[in-house]
Structure 1
Amino acid sequence: MNKEKIINEKSKLIDWVHSLEDISDDLWFKPFREGAWGTAEVISHFISWDKFVMENRLNYLLKDEAFPIVSVDINEINLEAAKYARSGISKLELVQEFITIRKELISLLVQLPAARFEQPFPGKESISLSDYFVGLIEHDVKHMEEINAHIRKFL
């Protein structure tokens, strides 16, 4: 997938998340199933991972520097995202925060040279930067479909 397509795909979630402002607060927090997250937690999860990618990947790619050595505790990042979603932040505030963060991520992607997307991903030379972002896009789509299916059950 080329740079332009990656940027377009990462941008698609902005309008979709904005449309979630229309669902009820009950549905916003309603878990997908027993013990699972709801829409609020997933949107917070997107924010956390977009921040991670910007701070620990894109900022270093733009400076052509090696990635920092960071301990990535996926479960901890997800737990903190879920807590944040239920911390008292309103649905509108969380949606706006997502939109702001995603636009920042996209602006960093725009700054990367198109050829960089075909080069190996630092630390995982078996995949390209494009492959890395395709994986992130697939992750976005998986959660988007999960939320859409959940909402359809209550409409």
Structure 2
Amino acid sequence: MNKRQIIEEKLSLITWSESLKGLADDVWFGPFKEGSWGIADVISHFISWDQFLLDYRLPFIMRSEEIPSVKVDVENINTKASLYARSGISKDNLINEFLSKREEVVSQIENIPAERFHEPIIIGKSRLIVSSYFSDLIEHDRTHKNQINAFLKDQNL
């Protein structure tokens, strides 16, 4: 993927997520299956990981610096995201927070020179190409988007 495609993919999730504002609360909070997350949890999850990207990845990518290895407690981040989604924040406010965070991510990506997307980055002991890193993040977005769309289809929405 090139820079423009990455930006378009990141922006497409903004447009799609705005369509979720009209959902009833039982659908918004309803689990995809017994004991699993619901839509609210996933949107909050996006916020948490976009913030991680802003704090621990993008500044180094932008400066073409080695990315320091950061101990990441994925379960803790995801649990906190789910708790936040169910803390009483309104659906519109949670979606708007996601939109704002994702726009911030896109703005940072736009500031990365196009040629940088073909260069390697090092994260701890891993080495990959910048565009591949973003492609992996987009695949993660798509997985959750498809999960939500499948759930909405099951709900006849």
TM-score, scaled to structure 1: 0.95
Deviates more, 1:102-111 or 1:51-60: 51-60
Matching of residues 37-76 of structure 1 within 5 Å: 37-76=37-76
Aligned residue in 2 for 1:29: 29
Unpaired segments ≥5 residues, structure 2: none
**1:5-25 deviation line (CA, Å, top 9, x unaligned):** 000011100010000001111
SS at match of 1:33: coil
SS of 2:32 mapped into structure 1: coil
Identity of aligned residues (%): 48
- Distance apart, 1:41 and its partner CA: 0.2
Corresponding residue for 2:8?
8
Matches within 5 A, 1:44-123: 44-123=44-123
Residue 154 of structure 1: how far off its partner (Å): 1.5
RMSD: 1.0
Is the CA contact 2:66–2:121 (under 8 Å) kept in the aligned structure 1?
Answer: no
- How far off is 1:69 after superposition? 3.7
Aligned residue number for residue 140 of structure 2: 139
| 1:46-71 per-position Cα deviation (integer Å, ceiling 9, x unaligned) | 00001101110102222333324421
Structure 1: 5+ residue runs without aligned partners? none
Look up the match of 1:153.
Answer: 154
- Structure 1 runs (4+) deviating above 6 angstroms are none
> Structure 2 length as normaliser, TM-score?
0.94
How far does the alpha carbon of each residue in 1:52-101 deviate from its partner, in whole angstroms, 9 at most, with x for none?
01110102222333324421011111111111100111100000000000
Q: How many residues align?
A: 154
